[in-house]
Chain A
Amino acid sequence: MQCGGFRTSYAGDERIFDTALPIVGVTALIGVLAVVPQFATTYWLDVLNRIGIAVIGALGLNILVGYTGQISIGHAAFLAVGAYSTAILEINAGLPFYLAIPLGALITSGFGLIFGIPSLRLRGLYLAIATLAAHFITTYGIVHWESMTKGVLGMMVPPATVFGLPLDSDKRVFYLIFALAIPAVFFAKNLFRTRVGRAFIAIRDRDVAAGVMGVSLYHYKLLAFVISSFYAGVAGGLMAHHSRILFPDSFTLLVAIDYLAMIIIGGLGSILGAIFGAIFMTLLPEVLKLGATSLTGVYPNAFGLIASTRDIVFGLAVILFLMYEPQGLARIWLRVRNYWKLWPYAY
């Protein structure tokens, strides 16, 4: 039983798991995820799949916003570029999905690099506004480049095939999504134990000071955009395979705001936070739907109010978290965990 933290080396301090229990927990979670599709209903599988995609996307945004401090309202544009380039690579170039998703993510990275250039001159607010503009320019491009993207008509994506087995059901796509989501989490977690991750954090805390200490702002700011948009590209590629039809309308500004809300509610600058936020934001409409279903007996119009209730609950959640728990769900989790970890010997 643990009664406090006692570390004698830097290596000990940097360890991800300091006791055996979390390792068991994570392994068990992965084990559960491996068998869940055999039992879950299609509805819950669909929800889980969307959570998996959102986790990847939110991790990418948290790397950029939460860890590097570069505010981006353009995440929906990254997702869109990832989704469309993956789909175009598969349909027009006939690439298999295991090449198309990484290539699509690379294209998104290149795109992120261009997005990131303003960050060299602009900070905070101005960068946020620049990314907002970039979002509108990108979606304009997607809607109007009809020869490639089919514009507002929507673009059908064929299912990915593994050894002749089409991944055309939620159950099969589930494995594809989580086979990418789990390594994405571990990569992000480890990134911030390296030189690169530390540089990101230094830039977030005070970029001029980081520059004075020898962190190349030019290099690392752009790198943050590249890594973040790579994640978004993967998430976008998975979206293409999950919904199998792409509309420009799936990538509105509201999607970018949703992703920002995920990392705010989950916890800025926290890997766990990105995961919690993704779960929270994906479950929110589902919970409201369940609530509305149970209310239809008493109040027949309940279903019509889901959209507006979602907006209100979403806005209130963001406001209340910012006011009372700015470090989000991850912080709450940490508090609860630390309480029980030292229980009953905490002082």
Chain B
Amino acid sequence: MGDQLVFALQLVITGVAVGGVYSLMALGFVLIFKASSVVNFGPGELVLFGAYVSWATILPMKLPLYVALPLTFAVAILLGLVIERGVLRPLIGEPIISVIMVTFGVASVIRGFLNMTWGSDTRPFPVLFSPEPIHLGPVPVSPVHLWSFVGVLGLLAIFSVFFKFSLTGMAMRATADNQQVAQSLGVSVKRVFALSWCIATVVSTLGGIILGSVRGGVDFSLADLGLKVFPVVILGGLDSVAGAIIGGVLIGVLENLSGGYLDPVLGGGVKEVAPFVVLVIILMIRPYGFFGKVEIERV
């Protein structure tokens, strides 16, 4: 196998691994949007929050992993409840600009709070996997990437089962489909809203933990990664769980390939901008994404 091909495969595999994290973030985003039509413009801050809290419980507090991780998730669930109860519920039915801005406001408060508590220095993230690369055929893959991808796949499988078969999952799907009908059939729409935020914060926290261990450290630039959620959900469709998952992997691969091949030509940074170029193109040709529901407008 030629070096060219190995290089390409390596880019694809890293892309898939990073894309898995994007899928997780996008899943959180899509769940909130499906349930309550709220667009979270601060997905990055949720990831950041998860990464910092897990860092704080594992390193400075020296808790063992089996205590630290559940504790982190408990804190994440609490955050989701606070955001939903305190901020978004009073704004139900307000114009879209208010909802967008309020999520920016929440993101800003989270960022300020993290900065105040732990400062803005880069924190070394605990090494959860060995740095020794595993060889998949001729292509070296770092275990972090491999495990994060396996983890993401497992999680997505759990979520599919949850939505397909559990009563709560079905209630969430019903709410997404038609709020009034769901309510009349006894679904507590309020609980579904709260639950969707909790799931979103938990998946984002997982994303934060995975990203933290992939990069070996957490700092505030993690939050910028969160904005990659937008290309993903636009590609997949804002209200499609399957779209979020496929879109995440596609965007991850795409940004890695464009970074790998175009950076030498265009002089760096292509990786950061390529997803957004794709976003614009998709918006122009297929605004509801590849799996989203097409809305028809009536006066």
Using a CB–CB cutoff of 8 Å, the interface residues on chain A facing chain B are: 65, 69, 71, 73, 118, 121-122, 124-126, 128-130, 132-134, 136-137, 140, 143-144, 206, 208-209, 212, 253, 257, 260-261, 264, 268, 305, 307-319, 322-323, 326
Contacts of A206 in B (CB 8 A): 299
Chain B nearest CB from A323 CB (Å) reads: 5
Chain A residue nearest in CB terms to B278: A133
Using a CB–CB cutoff of 8 Å, the interface residues on chain B facing chain A are: 39, 87, 90-91, 94, 96-98, 100-102, 104-113, 115-116, 120, 227, 230-231, 234, 238, 266-269, 272-273, 276-277, 279-280, 283-284, 287, 297, 299
Q: Are A308 and B100 in contact (CB under 8 A)?
A: no
Q: Which of A71, A317, A319 contacts B97 (CB 8 A)?
A: A71
Q: Are A323 and B116 in contact (CB under 8 A)?
A: no
Q: Are B280 and A312 in contact (CB under 8 A)?
A: no
Chain B residue nearest in CB terms to A312: B112
CA distance A125 to B98 in the complex (A): 11
CA distance A73 to B42 in the complex (A): 13
Q: Are B97 and A65 in contact (CB under 8 A)?
A: yes
Q: Are B284 and A137 in contact (CB under 8 A)?
A: no
Contacts of B120 in A (CB 8 A): 307
- In the complex with contacts A136-B273, A312-B108, A261-B283 CB distance below 8 A: no
Q: Are A322 and B98 in contact (CB under 8 A)?
A: yes
Q: Which of B97, B106, B231 contacts A315 (CB 8 A)?
A: B106
Q: Which of A71, A121, A137, A308 contacts B96 (CB 8 A)?
A: A71
Q: Are B287 and A122 in contact (CB under 8 A)?
A: yes
Closest 3 CB pairs of A and B: A311-B112, A315-B108, A318-B105
CA distance A71 to B96 in the complex (A): 9
Contacts of A136 in B (CB 8 A): 227, 272-273, 276
Contacts of A307 in B (CB 8 A): 112, 115, 120
Q: Is the interface of B mostly helix, strand, loop or mixed?
A: helix
Chain A residue nearest in CB terms to B273: A140
Contacts of A316 in B (CB 8 A): 105, 109
Q: Are B105 and A133 in contact (CB under 8 A)?
A: no
Contacts of A126 in B (CB 8 A): 234, 283, 287
CA distance A317 to B108 in the complex (A): 10
Chain A residue nearest in CB terms to B42: A315
Chain A CB within 10 A, most for which of B90, B97, B280: B97
Contacts of B113 in A (CB 8 A): 308, 312
CA distance A265 to B133 in the complex (A): 52
Q: Are B268 and A144 in contact (CB under 8 A)?
A: yes
Q: Are A118 and B112 in contact (CB under 8 A)?
A: no
Contacts of A308 in B (CB 8 A): 111-113, 115-116
CA distance A326 to B97 in the complex (A): 11
Contacts of B297 in A (CB 8 A): 208
CA distance A125 to B268 in the complex (A): 30
Q: Which of B91, B116, B267, B273 contacts A309 (CB 8 A)?
A: B116
CA distance A122 to B282 in the complex (A): 12
Q: Which of B94, B231, B272, B283 contacts A326 (CB 8 A)?
A: B94
- In the complex with contacts A209-B299, A257-B104, A312-B96 CB distance below 8 A: no
Q: Are A133 and B230 in contact (CB under 8 A)?
A: yes
Contacts of A268 in B (CB 8 A): 97
Given contacts A71-B97, A125-B238, A317-B105, 14 further A-B pairs with CB under 8 A are A128-B39, A132-B230, A133-B230, A133-B279, A137-B273, A212-B299, A305-B116, A307-B120, A308-B115, A312-B108, A313-B112, A315-B108, A319-B105, A322-B91
Contacts of B284 in A (CB 8 A): 118, 121
- In the complex with contacts A144-B267, A257-B104, A318-B104, A129-B230 CB distance below 8 A: yes
Contacts of A125 in B (CB 8 A): 39, 96, 100, 238
- In the complex with contacts A318-B102, A319-B105, A311-B231 CB distance below 8 A: no
Q: Which of B91, B94, B100, B110 contacts A128 (CB 8 A)?
A: B100
